[in-house]
Amino acid sequence: MDMIEIKNLNLTIKKTEILKNINMQFEKGRIHGLIGRNGSGKTMLMKCICGFVRPTSGTVQVAGKQIGKDCDFPESVGIIIETPGFIPYYSGFRNLKLLADLNKRIGKEEIRRTMLKVGLDPELKRHVRKYSLGMRQRLGLAQAIMENPDLLILDEPMNGLDKEGVADMRKYLLDLKAQGKTILIASHSAEDIDILCDTVCEMDKGVLSVIRGMKS
């Protein structure tokens, strides 16, 4: 069963073709890699899947629902796209609590558990503006996973992580896959893609092609 189905997707912004006739399916319960140079269209494709950007033509379905028609945004998705934005003068825990209060699906205990899973201390009072880049990235992952989504859309989630942090992140993403989660990950690291991904697609000047399909 496909978690994401993209049909005849095109995106043109100010007469520039960003995405060109994309047709792709991403199977449920797998990790799917997305590679390509900066500016190739990877981030824009992720934004279309998440409902942040409306395509010029074509459709995106997530879990059987068409984005922009059946729903504005996917119902069970965790997202890291570009640098996660947090209130700089709040602690990490307070930032996550503020976000959790919007949906009211989880409470303080779930937030604490999630922070510990990604290697952050929920009791740390330090403001996010004083976090290292790696700590911000871990906090970004915490906000993406804290409500236990079925789908994760992760754009360069390893940015700023040290060697130990990268190893921790890889292990955690593979654990999520083992739980049946679907993950779409963009990365410039060939090693991350090789270790994590069941399928690999490449974006080049707005055209998406399969580099490695599902292993039989």
pLDDT for 1 equals 81
Q: What is the crossing angle of helices 133-145 and 92-103, to 10°?
A: 20
What pLDDT digit, counting tens, does each position of 125-183 carry? 999 999 988 889 899 999 999 999 999 999 988 887 888 888 988 998 999 999 999 99
How many residues appear in the chain? 216
- The pLDDT of 190-213, averaged and rounded, is 92
Q: How far apart are CA 170 and CA 42, in angstroms?
A: 21
- Mean per-residue pLDDT, 187-201: 93
Closest C-alpha among 65, 48, 150, 125 to residue 57: 48
For domain 1-76+150-216, the CATH superfamily is P-loop containing nucleotide triphosphate hydrolases (3.40.50.300)
> What pLDDT, on a 0 to 100 scale, did the predictor assign at position 112?
96
Per-domain residue ranges for the chain? 1-76+150-216, 86-148
Q: In the prediction, which pLDDT does 216 show?
A: 41
pLDDT at 184 over 80: yes
The rounded mean pLDDT for the chain is 92
pLDDT value at residue 44? 94
DSSP string over 13-65 = ETTEEEEEEEEEEEETTSEEEEE--TTSSHHHHHHHHHTSS--SEEEEEETTE
Query: d(Cα 214, Cα 194) in Å, to the nearest integer?
Result: 13
Span 40-96, pLDDT tens digits: 999 999 999 999 999 999 999 999 999 999 999 998 999 988 766 799 999 999 999
- Give the C-alpha separation, 119 to 138, whole Å: 7
Nearest CA among 2, 3, 6 for reference residue 20: 6
Strands (E), the chain: 2-13, 16-27, 31-35, 57-62, 65-66, 77-80, 151-155, 182-186, 199-204, 207-212
What would the mean pLDDT of 192-216 be, rounded to a whole number?
A: 87
Query: What local confidence, expressed as pLDDT, does residue 214 receive?
Result: 63
